Each structure stands twice: as C-alpha cells, then as structure tokens.
Structure 1
Amino acid sequence: MGNAMAGRILLVDDVATNRIVMKVKLASAFYDVLQADSAPEAERLALDVRPDLIILDAVLRPHGGADLCHKLKSNPHTRDIPIIVVTSLHDRQTRLAALDAGADEFLTKPLDELSLLARVRSLLRARATSEELRRRQHTARELGFAEQPAPFTVPGRVAIITAETDEAIRWREQVRKHLRDRVDVIPAAQVLEALNSMKTPPDAFVISTNLAEAGSGLRLLAELRSREQTRHSAILIVHEPRDRNSAIMALDLGANDLLARGFDPEELALRLRGQMRRKQEGDRLRTNVEDGFRLAVTDPLTGLYNRRYAMPHLGKIAERARAQSRSYAVMLVDLDRFKFVNDTYGHAAGDRVLVEVAKRLKDNLRSIDLVARVGGEEFLIALPDTDLYEATVTAERLRRIIQQDAITLCKGQPGLTITASIGVAMGGLDATSSDKVEAVMNDADRALYDAKAEGRNQVSMGRTAA
C-alpha cells in the first residue's frame, strides 16, 4: 500500500493560478486536494464530499470569502469543517469579518509553506478528535443512551500568562470589553501551583512564548497538554512577529491558535470566543457520551466498550473510510492460555489480568481508536485512518507491551507474564461488498486463529493485509 493521504482539503479561489500554487504546497505533504472556483461549487462540494478542511480566498467573487464562510458555518452539515481564510489584503476589517463569520484561521499572503502546513496539521488534529466524539455520540444516540447537547450558554474562564504582569493586565482589560467570560491573570512563576489548587481549570489559556526565559512558554504549553486537567483546554500562544520557528513548534506541540505580539484586542477576543465555543462543545460531547451509556455499553470489569457498542461504532468507522477512500485496521487480541490463569490462580486473579491488559491497550492507543472487550479474554481494536504499515507497527508494539511487564496477582508474590496473539485485517481498501465490516472481522478472526496455530504470542496478518 502506498502513502496514505493525510486528509482531504477543499481549495476555493476564483483565480486558477492561486489554486495551482496552493495545491502544489499541500500535495507535497500528501494531502488530497479538491478545487472549486466559485462559492456555489464550494458549497456543493462541501456538502457532497465533506472535506476535512476548507481553504478559501477572502476576496472570492461575488460576495467575498466571509459570506461563504458564514453560509458553511450556518449549515449543520458543514459547520464542523474547519475553515482557513487567506488573503493578500492586510486591512483590519477583512480579518475581523472572516473571524466573526466563523473562520478558524485567517492567513495573509504570501504564505510561508512551513507555517501553513503547521496550521493545517493543527486544525486536522482538532477535526479528527471532534469527528470521533461526534461518531461516538451518534452511536450512543442510535442505541438510545444519549441526548442532544444543550446550546452553548455558560460563560467560561480565560487565564492570561505573560512574563510581565503589567502586560497581562493590559491584555485582560482590552479583551474584557469583547468577552462575557471571566478573564484572570496568573503570574508565570505560579501557574502550575495555581492549577493544583483550582477545582476547575481555565477553559482557555493565553500564553506568551517567552516567560521567564526564551522558549519557556512552549515548555508550559507542553506541560499543560500532558496534564489530565488541562489536556482539553484551549491554548492560544502569543509569539514574536518574526519568530516563525516558535509559532510552528507551538502548533505541533498542541496549541489551538496563534497571534503575533502587537495583536488587535478585538481579534484576540474573536479567536478566544471561537476556541471557547469549540472547547466547551467538546466537553459537552465527552460528558454526554460518558454519562449517557457508561453502564449500558461498557464492560463493568475493564471499563472498555463492550460488543454492543463496538460493532455499530466499527460500522461508522467503515462508512467514513469508504466515503473518504481511506483505510482502517481491525485487530482481534486474545490472551494466550487464559484458562490456565483462572484454573490455577482463581477468577479474581484472572480479573486482575484482564483489567491490567485493558489498561495497557488503552494507554498505548490514540484517543480516536476504538478499544473494546468483546469476549472473555478477547479484545477488539479499530484504528481509523490507518494504513498497513501503521497497523503492523501498532500490533507488534501492543503485543510487546502486554508481555513486557509481569502482572501482580497477589501482593508480595511474583508477577505473572501474560502474552497475547493478535490477528490484523484491513478495511476501506475498496468499496465492494467484500469490504463490509463482517468480512473484515472474519478476516481478523482467521488471522487470530493463524497466530494461535503458529505458536501464540505473535501477530498474524489477514488476507486483506497481505
């Protein structure tokens, strides 16, 4: 299998030369690029194809890019697609109009290729997480365990962190005029201590790249992303205008947005408003999914999803893969000689093994991956947007992780080493009936049988992965 496309992007510009230049930049990074030369064509493609990202020109005729952006963000079928508006204009009105219309980013030509690709990667990561949350919510709603989320109404909390307190206070006073959210200043030296004492962390952070020393803002960004309590907070980084490297690094470390120092306070407010809306919507989706069907569709022992949830959700992963011409991987993981564990050490020990293996699987997969317990000692894993090489590497890594550390059964007693056999199958490689979920599952099951027959504790690839 060749290079997997990194995402599908729709370019909208009525000047063919602009589209060609932009397509070359994006295609070199293996993005699948579609083009539209008018607003009506862009609306049609956005509805029919559902691209992962839209890049449109601000001076698109006849009504401008902001008008198209507003239409797409007002349509429930396209409002979740991130939009970048680009322009050669440098006026404040065009910039604010695009952000007010719902644009996720506004870039000025000439576009720096590395900076553009960093922005694209950042938005596509956020899009993938949001889409996965929506798929899980949709699955839950079909099963009757989730309600529609309530509209966004609750004011949030913003924390401003800079090296100079006077500067932070000035930013706070400027942005307060445009936001209804609470805005606090946290001294840079006290951020982590303050977070430890907070019951609820801020919804959004505004952080200067240079706090006590050069680059310390980026280190704080990485720390916030690694912490459970702030992992989903929106983070906006303020960088020096000429510091391109810090800007690119910030996006790749997980910043949601960027602004150059000397920014327009109203632009900061508009960007924060959009980030707060997306962050709290994500919070609602997570809560809705977790609360709605925790008991009904999760395994009470391991906390993983059960078969009742896994199979409909796998169907949705397959549907999206076919629609987007992408591949996905399915793994069946079966613990070796598990009956011996139960017979020798008792069922309580067996339960401890299952809980620990479930934790190792979940801790070593992406948030968008599906992990479920579908049998006594059998686990199902589905990896969206994954090619054969990635699936093979992931399966081998999981096999090693299950085996590498002995599992403690009783305090003070030697641990027990557990191994697993894994069958891997690929789906989404063609749109024929043979690519249905049932066929992919059967292929993974045959591969698992082969792994067992060939001596256990190994990965075997199905026919679709051959």
Structure 2
Amino acid sequence: MAGRILIADNVPTNRIILKVKLASAFYDVSQATTGAGTLTQARAERPNLILLDVDLGDMSGFETCTRLKADPVTAHIPVAILTPAQNPEAKIAALKAGADEVLSKPLDELTLTARVRALMRASATSEELRRRNETAHALGFSEAHGHYEAPGKIILIGTTAEEAMGWRAGLKGMVHDEVAIERADHLLESIYHGDIADLYVISTGAGDGDGLRLISDLRAREATRDAGIVVVHGPQDRREALMALDLGANDLIVRGADPEEMALRLRSQMRRKKETDLLRLTLDEGLRLATRDKLTGLYNRHYALPHLDKIAREARESGQHFALMLIDVDRFKSVNDTWGHATGDAVLIEVARRLSDNLRSMDLVSRFGGEEFLICMPMTSLMEARAVAERMRAGICARPIALAPDQAPISISVSIGLAMGGDQGAATPDVDTLLAIADRALYAAKAEGRNQVTLGSYAA
C-alpha cells in the first residue's frame, strides 16, 4: 500500500532522480531543499519515511537527522541518510545521528526499493505504537513507558563458528545485551526448547549457504515472528541481500564492516524490537479490560471511536485515504433462537477470529455492538479495501463453523457496508458521517439479499 516519502537534497537533479525512481514504485513523494525546510515539512506532512542527503546547505544531513529524532512529533519516522560511496566515516556518523538506514551513492533502483520496503514496514509498526499510546492517553490512561533498561538477547549465526566468534569479539564493550553464538543446524531446535532471542544476526552463508531459509523459518514461527533479523552478506551477494529484505530481514551489513557499524545497527534494531514488544504490551490489564470486548477479545466501541477519530485526523493531515467497514452477521437472531446463546457466542468468537486473520497489525477491528463489527484500515485505497472486504466475506461463508463433535457445523454469512475516508477536499466527511454512510451501505447489502459487500454512496 502506498506510503509518503520526503526527499531532502539541495541538488535539484538528485531530488528529481530519486523522485522518479520512487514514484515508479507508486510512492507519494514530496521534496525539501534545506535542513530547516525538512524539519518543517516533516512536522506538517508526517511522512512514512525521510531520505536525507549528507549536505542540505544550511545544515548537514546528520544534524537534521539528530533534530528529527529529538522532536517527539517526528522521532518515530524512519530516516535514511544518503552518503558518498566508500565513506565508512560518513556511515558511522549517520548511524550515530540516529539514522535508521544508510544508503551509499550511487543508488540502483532495486537496492533503493528493497530498502524502502523494509523501512516502510518499520514505519507502520512505529506509527501504530504511537497511535495506540495516544488513544490510551485520550481515554485517560497513562502512556506506556518508552525506556528499555533491561538487556535483550542477540544470537549470532555465522558461516563458521570462527566468523561468529569474530563478530562477538568486535561487539565486546559496544553492546550491553547478552550475545550468544548458535549453529545454523541447531537454531530451530533451540527455539523449540524455548531459547528465544530478540535479535538474530545471520550470515547468508550459514547452514551450507542457505542462510535465507533461516529468515523464512524465523518469520514462520510464532515465538520468533517479531524478532529483529540482521543479515551479513558479501559485497558480491547483492541479489541474496535484497531477497533477504523481502523475506523479512530488518537490516543488512556488508561482511567485514567496522564493528562499530555493526554495534550501532544492532542497538537500533534492539530499540525497534523493544518498541514492537511495547506495541503488544502497551495497555496494562486495567486498560485492556476497559477497552476490550470480553467475549471476542477485540477492541470495543469505547476504544474504537477515539481511535477512529485519530486515524481520520491523520489521514486528512497526510492526504492519505482509509477504509471504514461495518460488518453484520446475517440472520444472527435465528442462530440464538435455534441453538441457544452459548452457540451464538461461539459463532461471534469465530467470526472475530476470521476477520482478524485477514487484517494487518495496523488495522483497527472492534466489536461495535451485538453481532456488528467495525473495521478501519489506514493507508488503504478503495480497490484494496474492496478486495479485503470480499476476502473476509468469502472466508466467513465458505467454511461452516464447527462447534462440537455431536453438532452439525453452522453455515453463516456476513453483510458488509464500506465507506472511504481521507483527504477529499472541502467535502471530506467527518467520522460520524462516514459511519452513517457505512451503516446505510450495510442495510443496503442486507436489503439486496445479504452475504455481500456494498459501497457507500459517498465513496461511489
């Protein structure tokens, strides 16, 4: 899904080349020519990613990055600094300034877009963390603490044990986390027995040259799905490195890099991993009880409405669109009347699970009341929203719900009303209007035969 990128460079040719490359990948691109302009635009536009040149005229890219990371409004936005080729000092300076990524010139299109995709994933997590904390604060609950004093754990998987030991020796005194070495062929067994790390550093040559398979294995397992993954590759392994990013690696390090660079990158990834953990634990038990539906475990109406307001406000500010859906279980009263309320509850739990399985972590899904659910998808086009809505509808009606061995499975369906919000000029509707549009579309779906998705008249 499209994201907004701010390019900052005082050389017009450089900006134009970057903009063409990114626009061809369907990103929305804006431009700044100075450090001061970058700071102003970043606050106003809240882009998903900022690309900084090292020289911005009035200040360096390093100073601009430091200021961006010091501002609470822009601190969560990933920043990549573009440095001259073969300049390790500039790379270290960029990482020390807080850059999330360092890209060396000249940039080829494949490397650029692969790096951008990885940073966009990081941006989505940070944005959702910030949004949920702000929603919790708006509801009167304290925000979660953002300090991570407890050390994490890093596991090193080299091509050989000697390579991993060399990494550990280089990191000594520069990271304060537990650092362990593991063989590639023992890694999955260790995970199975509960030896889980926050970060995994994997050589592309690990496991008889099949280090990329380890990335897929880590991402496929619940225990390590959210771990940070850093891949070490040779200068000649460009294709494997880019593939690693698309498989879910968070960062790349060229084999033989300065140990200080590795330490800085690992510290940055550890911070992001702790933020991801905080995303899941940010609301304490009292907040969870206040904002969660006790039956389905989804967010309730009390949480959904202020969170929806925040998504709508940010969409207006950024010029992006979002999708709003109201979903109702068809003929639910007959389920309760025929099989009883316990069966009806089981049906709602299963519907909630199937809806959640089709959504991203950044999407909002809540039980809005009775047998009705609300979904809000930020940064989503109409075409994408319709595809997701149809997938959810089909997924619910295609498989009857099995409740007990001695009871026949129950076939159900849902009707979905869809409305689109975001920057649509002076006529942009507010949240109440969007809810009314989605509600009318939902009733139209039921009137036209149920088990279908209907688009609200405003979005049409």
1:86: which partner in 2?
82
User: How far, CA to CA, are the matches of 2:282 and 2:216 in structure 1?
Assistant: 28
Q: How many Å separate the matches in 1 of 2:386 and 2:337?
A: 33
Match of 1:153 in 2: 149
Q: Distance in 2 between matches of 1:464 and 1:19?
A: 37
SS in structure 2 opposite 1:435?
coil
- Alpha-carbon distance in structure 2 between the residues aligned to 1:91 and 1:396: 50
| One of 195, 201, 204 as aligned partner of 1:206 | 201
Residue in structure 1 matching 2:24, options 18, 25, 28: 28
Identify the residue that residue 350 of structure 1 maps to in structure 2.
344
Given that residues 421 and 429 in structure 2 are in contact (C-alpha distance below 8 angstroms), is that contact kept between their aligned partners in structure 1? yes
1:270 aligns with 2:264: yes
Amino acid corresponding to residue 250 of structure 1 in structure 2: A
> 1:207 is aligned with what amino acid?
I
2:364 equivalent to 1:370: yes
Which AA in structure 1 matches 2:382? L
Match status 1:112 vs 2:108: yes
For the 8 Å contact 2:135–2:307, the answer to whether it is kept is: yes
What residue identity is the alignment partner of 2:121?
A: R
Deviations 1:264-309 (A, max 9, x none): 1110000001111121122123212364521001100000011001
Which one of 280, 288, 292 corresponds to residue 282 of structure 2? 288
Aligned counterparts, 1:37-436, within 5 A: 37-198=33-194, 201-214=196-209, 216-289=210-283, 291=285, 293-432=287-426, 434-436=428-430
Q: TM-score, normalised by structure 2?
A: 0.97
CA contact (8 A) 1:331 1:425 kept: yes
The Cα shift of 1:63 comes to 4.2
Structure 2 counterpart SS, 1:391: helix
The change in CA–CA distance for 1:464 and 1:78 in structure 2 (over 3 A counts) is same
**What per-residue deviation string (whole Å, max 9, x for no partner) do you get for residues 217-267 of structure 1?**
111111211222212211101122122221111111111100121221110
Alpha-carbon distance between aligned partners in 2 of 1:220 and 1:323, rounded to the nearest angstrom = 40
The 2-side partners of 1:183 and 1:409 are apart by 47
Q: Once the 2 structures are TM-superposed, how far is the Cα of residue 60 of structure 1 from its aligned partner?
A: 3.3
CA-CA distance at 1:62 after TM superposition: 4.6
Displacement of 1:172 in angstroms is 1.1
**Contact 2:134–2:143 (CA under 8 A) maintained in structure 1:** no
Whether the aligned pair in 2 keeps the contact of 1:399 and 1:421 (CA below 8 Å) is yes
One-letter amino acid of the structure 1 residue matched with residue 120 of structure 2: L
Closer/same/farther in 2, CA of residues 185 and 230 from structure 1, 3 Å limit:
same
| Cα pair 1:427 1:464 within 8 Å, conserved | no
SS in 2 for 1:207: strand
Compared with structure 1, are the counterparts of its residues 128 and 415 closer, same or farther at alpha carbon in structure 2 (3 Å cutoff)? same
Question: Partner amino acid for 2:193?
Answer: S
Aligned residue for 1:397, secondary structure, equals: helix
Cα displacement (A) at 1:66: 1.2
Corresponding letter in the other structure for 1:318: A
Instruction: Give the C-alpha shift of residue 433 in structure 1.
Output: 5.8
Does the 8 Å contact 1:146/1:293 carry over to 2? no
Write the deviation string for residues 348-367 of structure 1: whole angstroms up to 9, x where unpaired. 01011011111111111111
Q: CA RMSD in A?
A: 1.5
Q: Cα–Cα, structure 1 residues 150 and 120, in superposed 2: closer, same or farther, change >3 Å?
A: closer
| CA–CA separation in structure 2 for the residues paired with 1:144 and 1:222 | 41
Distance 1:150-1:59 versus aligned 2 partners, 3 A rule: closer
Alpha-carbon separation, structure 2, partners of 1:12 and 1:243 = 30
Change in CA separation of 1:382 and 1:248 when aligned onto 2, cut-off 3 Å:
same
In 2, the alpha carbon distance for the partners of 1:177 and 1:297 equals 43
Query: How far is the alpha carbon of 1:434 from its aligned partner?
Result: 4.9
Mapped contact 2:36–2:58 kept (Cα < 8 A): no
Q: d(CA) in 2 for partners of 1:45 and 1:180? A: 36
User: 1:249, 1:150 → 2: CA distance?
Assistant: 32
5+ residue gaps, structure 1: none
Q: How many residues align?
A: 460
Give the C-alpha shift of residue 409 in structure 1: 2.7
Deviation at 1:61, TM superposition (A): 3.2
- 2:313 aligned counterpart, secondary structure: helix
- Residues 27-66 of structure 1 show CA distances to partners (whole Å, capped at 9, x for unaligned) of 1112222222211111111122222111111233354221
- Secondary structure (helix, strand or coil) at the match of 2:223 reads helix
Amino acid at match of 1:64: S
Return the alpha-carbon distance in structure 1 between the equivalents of residues 121 and 312 of structure 2.
Answer: 20
Deviation at 1:80, TM superposition (A): 1.2
1:440 aligns with 2:434: yes
Provide the secondary structure at the position in 1 that maps to 2:424: coil
Corresponding letter in the other structure for 1:247: A
For residue 379 of structure 2, give the secondary structure of its aligned residue in structure 1. coil
Give 4+ residue runs of structure 1 displaced > 4 Å after superposition.
none
Give the Cα separation in 2 of the matches to 1:437 and 1:63: 41
Letter in 2 for 1:312: P
Contact in 2 for aligned 1:59/1:87 (Cα 8 Å): no
Q: 1:196 deviation in Å? A: 1.7
Q: Which amino acid aligns with 1:375?
A: G
Q: Is the 8 A contact 1:160 1:205 kept in 2?
A: yes
Query: Taking structure 1 as the reference length, what is the TM-score of the superposition?
Result: 0.95
- Tell me, in whole angstroms, the C-alpha distance in 2 between the residues paired with 1:266 and 1:31: 33
Three-state SS of the structure 1 residue aligned to 2:180 is: strand
- 2 CA distance for matches of 1:272 and 1:226? 22
Q: Percent identity?
A: 53
Secondary structure of the 2:458 match is helix
Is the CA contact 1:145–1:292 (under 8 Å) kept in the aligned structure 2? no
Native 8 Å contact 1:205 1:234 kept in 2: yes
